[in-house]
Amino acid sequence: MADHTNPSEIARETLKQLIVRKLTPTPVNYQACYNEIAQLPNVAGFPEAQLRQMATTFPVRSPRQKQAIEQLEAAIGKRSWQGVQRALVALATVDTVGIANGTAAPTESANDQPPEISVELRVRLARLIETLLPLLGDQDASLSNQACDVLNALKDPFADQPGLLLLLSSFSQRASLAVEEQSEIKHTLLKLLHLIIENIGELSLDEQCVNGQIETLMRAVAPPITLRRLDDVERRLKDVIAIQRAARRRSLEAQAEIRQMLAAFINHLAAMNQSSTAFQTGLEESARQLAEVRAIEDLAPLLKQVIDATHAMAADTGHARAQIEHLQTRVLATNAELVRLNDDLRHASASARHDPLTDALNRRGLDEALAREIASVRRKNVPLSLSLLDVDNFKKLNDRLGHATGDEALIHLVKVVQQHMRPIDTLARYGGEEFVILMPDTALAHGIEAIKRLQRELTKSFFLTNNEKILITFSAGVAELTSEESGGDAIARADQAMYLAKRSGKNRVLGG
């Protein structure tokens, strides 16, 4: 039996018992055997079980907390009080920093972001709410007050995190209702606008000059509505209104001239009637005097009187005839001008900036759109690509089927392109069978791919004329605007690339 008072003997006996009992020589097992042999109370020197139980109670709210808990568990396994102390200090530091920065509440995170990112997120979220708040309308005072509370909480780094989440939840619910209401308001306004436009059309059945505007407005207010479409319609209507105002003004002036000429004509007729009445009265007087003549010598003065009256009547009649003929000429000329003005109003296109055949922009519209896009992309520092495309074998199509069919083929091409290009892109007729497409926020490679996609869509849509299916293709060049380049220079580079595409086999797209 080992000496229970000799520590060395107790230690040797403890090792033997570990081997005999086949126990793992852990500090816990060694301590238990040692206390048993030494007949001492078996009180663990290191509360491993209790510490591990405590470690499981810490919530894992972030990767940094998870890392600190893993350090704690490793220190407990090593029975290192210093390690346990460092892990607990790390946990306390993570919680303190998280509360100060308002990040204690998140339950998971993909990356181990430093705490200051959450401060930046608060700032960005506040800026987003400030930007979107005007879109929610200004009729709901309580919504505005909620937004102010949320913004104040977001800007306060020491704001209570659960309280902030509650504010955000309540605000988001209220904001969603406001968004739905604004959407309904827009939809209802569009319905009212449709009704007004349709009513104007019904009331103006005889005003053919209004029909173009009615059709343009109806297309403009058809969903989806974009600012680009509204801007285009505004420009169209401004041009038409300018033409109509000038034509109306000249029409009113011409009508006033006709009224003046009609009054002059009536005055001339009255004068002629007065002159004729005086002549008739003179003739009647001469006839009476003639009946009283008794000597031949008395006829001479009477005859002279009749001849003078006849000459005066002839002179008045000739002068009146000349004036009436002049008035007639002026009336015919003014009437012809009125007819021309009415024709101008009737045939005025929806805009002087649009091609009357295809309704794409014309050269003037392209110049304005290009200037606008260049200013926009350089202000935003984003790329702008443009493409010049030319219909393949268009002359042969015209020669074989006629120019009317060629026009229909161009209309078909424009419809297909407009259906499949993006709303932010712009299509313009450059001349003949050439078209330009502006593609903002698009680099060269993506621009080439977009035009190739249009080619594929065009091959799926056959042009049908007289029950004959005709495949229309085009060759195109694409150029990306450089920082020092004008729009005309970029179009010239795209034109050169298009020419090379034609030379290389047609129905191709090359970058310039």
192, 217: one domain: no
Distance in angstroms (rounded) separating the CA atoms of residues 274 and 392 = 76
pTM: 0.46
172, 212: one domain: no
pLDDT above 90 for 489: yes
| Range in 24-28, 224-228, 261-265 with the lowest mean pLDDT | 224-228
Mark which of 153, 176, 196 sits at the end of a domain.
196
Q: How many helices (H) and strands (E) does the chain have?
A: 16, 7
Q: Which residue has the higher pLDDT, 508 or 267?
A: 508
507, 371: one domain: yes
374, 400: one domain: yes
- 178 contacts 140 by C-beta, under 8 angstroms: yes
211, 343: one domain: yes
Q: Please, which pLDDT band fits residue 141 given cuts at 50, 70 and 90?
A: confident
Q: Is 102 left (phi over 0), alpha (psi -120 to 50) or beta?
A: left
Residue 437 within a domain: yes
* Sequence letter at residue 12: R
- DSSP line for 210-270: HHHHHHHHHHHTSSSP-HHHHHHHHHHHHHHHHHHHHHHHHHHHHHHHHHHHHHHHHHHHH
Distance in angstroms (rounded) separating the CA atoms of residues 77 and 49 = 10
Mark which of 158, 173, 196 sits at the end of a domain.
196
CA angle, 85 then 88 then 92, to 5°: 135
389, 454: one domain: yes
Residue 233 within a domain: yes
176, 309: one domain: no
Residues contacting residue 17 through CB under 8 Å, at least 6 positions apart: 23, 33, 36, 37
* Tens-place pLDDT, residues 384-438: 999 999 999 999 988 888 988 999 999 999 999 998 998 889 999 998 899 999 9
CA 430 to each of CA 259, 389, 472: distance values in angstroms, whole numbers, following the listed order: 46, 9, 18
| Range in 51-65, 259-273, 322-336 with the lowest mean pLDDT | 259-273
pLDDT above 80 for 245: no
Chain-centroid distance, C-alpha 364? 21
Which residue, 291, 292, 285, is CA-closest to 309? Answer: 285
DSSP category for residue 135: G
229, 333: one domain: yes
* Tens-place pLDDT, residues 173-223: 777 777 777 777 777 766 766 666 666 655 554 455 556 566 666 666 666
Reduced to 3 states (helix: H, G, I; strand: E, B; else coil), residue 427 is strand
Distance in angstroms (rounded) separating the CA atoms of residues 300 and 312 = 18
Residues contacting residue 58 through CB under 8 Å, at least 6 positions apart: 65, 69, 72, 91
260, 342: one domain: yes
Task: Residue 204: count other Cβ atoms within 10 Å of its Cβ.
Answer: 14
* Sequence letter at residue 434: E
User: Length of the chain, please?
Assistant: 512
Distance in angstroms (rounded) separating the CA atoms of residues 186 and 180 = 10
Residue 35 within a domain: no
**Span 468-495, average pLDDT:** 92
Task: Residue 451: count other Cβ atoms within 10 Å of its Cβ.
Answer: 24
**Span 256-277, average pLDDT:** 68
Report the run of H or E that residue 474 belongs to, with start and end.
strand 474-480
Residue 495 within a domain: yes
Instruction: Provide the domain limits for residue 129.
Output: 116-196
Residue 85 within a domain: no
324, 389: one domain: no
Q: What is the pLDDT of residue 45?
A: 60
Domain holding 403: CATH number? 3.30.70.270
Cα atoms in the 13 Å half-sphere on the side-chain side of 337: 18
Rg of the chain (C-alpha set) = 48
Q: What is the pLDDT of residue 384?
A: 95
Q: What is the pLDDT of residue 340?
A: 73
* Sequence letter at residue 356: P
Residue 232 within a domain: yes
Sign of torsion, CA 368 374 377 378?
negative
Q: What is the pLDDT of residue 113?
A: 39
* Sequence letter at residue 164: L
**Span 266-288, average pLDDT:** 68
Intra-chain end-to-end CA distance of the chain, in Å: 100
Q: What is the mean pLDDT of the chain?
A: 76
Residue with token string 């739905």: 180
How many domains does the structure of the chain reveal? 3
| Range in 43-52, 105-114, 187-196, 248-257 with the lowest mean pLDDT | 105-114
Distance in angstroms (rounded) separating the CA atoms of residues 196 and 200 = 6
* Sequence letter at residue 110: A
pLDDT above 90 for 453: yes
Distance in angstroms (rounded) separating the CA atoms of residues 351 and 237 = 7
Distance in angstroms (rounded) separating the CA atoms of residues 126 and 138 = 18
348, 368: one domain: no
Residue 274 within a domain: yes
- 479 contacts 444 by C-beta, under 8 angstroms: yes
DSSP category for residue 38: T
Q: Please, which pLDDT band fits residue 116 given cuts at 50, 70 and 90?
A: very low
Residue 435 within a domain: yes
- 368 contacts 353 by C-beta, under 8 angstroms: yes
* Sequence letter at residue 177: L
Mark which of 318, 352, 386 sits at the end of a domain.
352
- 345 contacts 212 by C-beta, under 8 angstroms: no
pLDDT above 60 for 297: yes
Distance in angstroms (rounded) separating the CA atoms of residues 75 and 69 = 10
Reduced to 3 states (helix: H, G, I; strand: E, B; else coil), residue 44 is coil
Phi, psi of 115 (to 5 degrees): -60, -30
Distance in angstroms (rounded) separating the CA atoms of residues 17 and 2 = 12
Which residue, 32, 27, 34, is CA-closest to 2? Answer: 34
CA 66 to each of CA 4, 112, 115, 116, 328: distance values in angstroms, whole numbers, following the listed order: 46, 10, 15, 19, 102
414, 391: one domain: yes
DSSP category for residue 45: S
Distance in angstroms (rounded) separating the CA atoms of residues 147 and 168 = 9
3-state secondary structure 337-359: HHHHHHHHHHHCCCCCCECCCCC
